[in-house]
């Protein structure tokens, strides 16, 4: 007879634990939803800021490259001989290095 009551008590305890677990699961789900919502909004704002800053860096870099290219172009047009001599010397050195025999 004790076994019947023992099994019944165990089943009642398990049912009680199950109900409590369901309540806590709902409560925990709500807490996670609130925290996740906050985290999601923070990450979205950070993503927008990073995207904006990277676009600014890209445009500044592009402006510097275009400016440098214009300066080099003007310098080459004003005095082309040093650039011609540099290109010829570089070609000569590269041709010598590749033309050597490795035997």
Please compute the mean of the pLDDT values over residues 90-95 and round it to a whole number: 94
pLDDT at 38: 78
**Residue among 57, 77, 54, 53 at smallest CA distance from 65:** 57
Please compute the mean of the pLDDT values over residues 45-70 and round it to a whole number: 93
Q: Quote the pTM value.
A: 0.44
pLDDT digits (tens, 9 = 90+) for 68-88: 999 999 999 999 999 999 999
């Amino acid at each position: 007879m004790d076994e019947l009551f023992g099994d019944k008590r165990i089943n009642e305890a398990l049912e009680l634990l199950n109900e409590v677990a369901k309540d806590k699961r709902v409560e925990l789900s709500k807490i996670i939803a609130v925290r996740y919502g906050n985290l999601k909004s923070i990450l979205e704002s950070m993503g927008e800021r990073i995207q904006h800053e990277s676009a600014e860096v890209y445009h500044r870099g592009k402006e510097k490259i275009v400016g440098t290219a214009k300066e080099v172009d003007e310098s080459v047009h004003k005095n082309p001989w040093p650039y011609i001599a540099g290109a010829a010397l570089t070609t000569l050195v590269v041709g010598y290095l590749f033309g050597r025999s490795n035997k």
